[in-house]
Amino acid sequence: MNKFSFTKNKKIFFIFTAVCIVLGIAVCIFKGFNWDVDFAGGAQAKLDIGKKPESAEMKIVEQIAKDNVDKGVSITVTPIGDSTGDYILIKANKMSTEQYDKIVSVATDKFGEGVVGDELQIVSPSVSSGLRKSAIIATVIAVVLMLAYIAIRFKLLSAVAAVACLIHDIFFVFVAYSVFDIPVNTNFIAVVLTILGYSINATIIIFDRVRENNKLMGKSVDFEEKVDRSIKQTLLRSLFTTITTLLTIGMVYILGVTSIKDFALPLIVGIIVGLYSSVCLSGNLWCVLNKLFKKK
């Protein structure tokens, strides 16, 4: 590890990252996303199974629904009730009337004659557009303010590098959603925000070290050399912190129910990608930006 230079090998990192980004974009385009009905609209219908649905029945209905819609369509089943009785609400981002009729008939075989299927409704995503909009606005403002803070505490160029890494991490969280077919629902917003808050930390710890080394070592040492030292000095910390965070979130993934797994998996991806970007990219980006804008 002593001989290996992070900054001298930056070409390798940049090429590797570029290839991953291209692959990521390709996956996002060709595989697409599994949009949850809340997020993108779709179809929903109430199913009355003739009694108050308990979790066992919910599981059965979820399985029936999954078996009868197109492959890769995300299904959510929720027990609901209103003044007219108790139902199971089946939501899917794509479900035809025929498919729904099939679900109702299979459910009738399973639960008996009491099963009544309500008419299939097409639901628009407009209901969540407000939430989505406010989330995007909040994220943008948060990123801009973080950029400003880093620019004040460090240097503007380092802030640009840090935010570029942040965008990199969030991009790969998107890719994870596509690759693992995770439903994009309102929790998606929370995942992105979590990575936003977490991944910037690692970069700042490294930049803090660069700042300190800059003062300590003086002008005689090349900036790239200082960055390389800083990355190495903080490497154990970067690694250990990632390990401890993964220990907790990993347990959540292992023990959690499906909805929790869907939440933990992209977080795990984001945390690992965050480790890579802060160690291998952030410092190098700062070096490159420095060269570009500070020609002497």
Partner 1 sequence: MKKSISKIILVVVAIAFIASLALYGFEPFKLTGIKEGGIKQGLDLVGGTSIVYDIVDDEKKSFSEEEVNLVIEMLRDRIDRRGYTEATVSKYSDSQILVEIPGIDDPDMAAKEIGTTAELTFRKGGADGEVVITGTDVKKATAVFDDPSGMGGVAQWFIELEFNNSARKAFSEATAELAGTGNPISIMLDEDVISSPIVNTRIDSTTCIIEGDFEAEDAQELAELISAGKLPFKLDIAQVSHVGPTLGDRALETSLLAAVIGIILVMIFMIVVYRIPGVVASIALCGYVALIAFALVLFKVNLTLPGIAGIILTIGMAVDANVVIYERIKEELAIGKTVKAAVKSGFNRAIIAVIDSNVTTIIAALVLYFKGAGTVKGFGVTLGLGVVVSMITAVFVSRFLLKAFVDMNISNPWLFGVSKKKASVEDVTGGDR
- 143-172 binders of partner 1 (CB under 8 A): 145-146, 149-150, 153
| Interior angle at CA 64, CA 61 and CA 67, nearest 5 | 150
Instruction: Indicate whether 208 belongs to the interface with partner 1 (CB under 8 A).
Output: yes
Q: Which of 29, 130, 218, 292 binds partner 1 (CB under 8 A)?
A: 130
Which of 15, 22, 26, 141 lies at the binding interface for partner 1 (CB under 8 A)? 141
- Give dist(CA 283, CA 291) in Å, integer: 13
**In DSSP terms, which residues pair with 183 in a beta bridge?**
34
Least separation in angstroms between CB 24 and partner 1: 23
Query: What whole-number distance in Å separates Cα of residue 283 and Cα of residue 231?
Result: 7
9 binds partner 1 (CB under 8 A): no
Task: Look up residue 211 and give its two tokens.
Answer: 């700042």
Question: How far apart are CB 1 and partner 1 at their closest, in Å?
Answer: 7
222: contact with partner 1 by CB under 8 A: no
Cβ nearer to partner 1, comparing 15 with 251: 251
Token digits of residue 104: 């109702």
Asked whether 266 and 177 are in contact (CB, 8 A), the reply is yes
Q: Which is nearer to partner 1, 1 or 292 (CB)?
A: 1
Half-sphere exposure of 236 (CA within 13 A, CB side): 2
Site for partner 1, residues 251 to 280, rule: CB under 8 A: 251-252, 254-260, 263, 267
Cα distances (angstroms) measured from residue 53 to each of 43, 62, 89, 118: 21, 12, 11, 16
Output 29 or 247, the one with its CB closest to partner 1: 247
Q: What is the CA radius of gyration of the chain?
A: 24
Supply the minimum distance, in Å, between the C-beta of residue 209 and partner 1.
7
- Binding string, residues 176-195; x marks residues near partner 1 by CB under 8 A: ----------xx-xxx-xx-
From candidates 10, 155, 168, 229, binder to partner 1 by CB under 8 A:
229
> Which CB atom, from 26 or from 243, has the smaller least distance to partner 1?
243
CB count within 10 Å of CB 99 equals 18
Confirm or reject binding of residue 122 to partner 1 (CB under 8 A): no
Q: Is residue 72 involved in binding partner 1 (CB under 8 A)?
A: no
- Provide the minimum distance between the beta carbon of 258 and partner 1 in the complex, in angstroms, as a whole number: 8
Q: From the CB of 93, what's the least distance to partner 1, in Å?
A: 16
Q: How many CB atoms lie within 10 A of CB 239?
A: 12
Residue pair 202/278 in contact (Cβ under 8 Å)? The answer is yes
- According to the binding rule CB under 8 A, does residue 221 interact with partner 1? no
Is beta strand 183-184 parallel, antiparallel or unpaired with respect to 34-35? parallel
- What are the angstrom distances between the C-alpha of 212 and each of 165, 170, 257, 285? 21, 28, 45, 18
Nearer to partner 1, 5 or 105 (CB): 5
Nearer to partner 1, 97 or 201 (CB): 201
Write the CB contacts of 15 (distance below 8 Å, at least 6 apart in sequence): none
List the x/- string, 24-63, binding to partner 1 by CB under 8 A. -----------------------------x-x--x-----
Longest dimension (CA), the chain: 85
Contact flag: residue 124 with partner 1 (CB under 8 A): no
CB of 284 to partner 1, least distance (A): 18
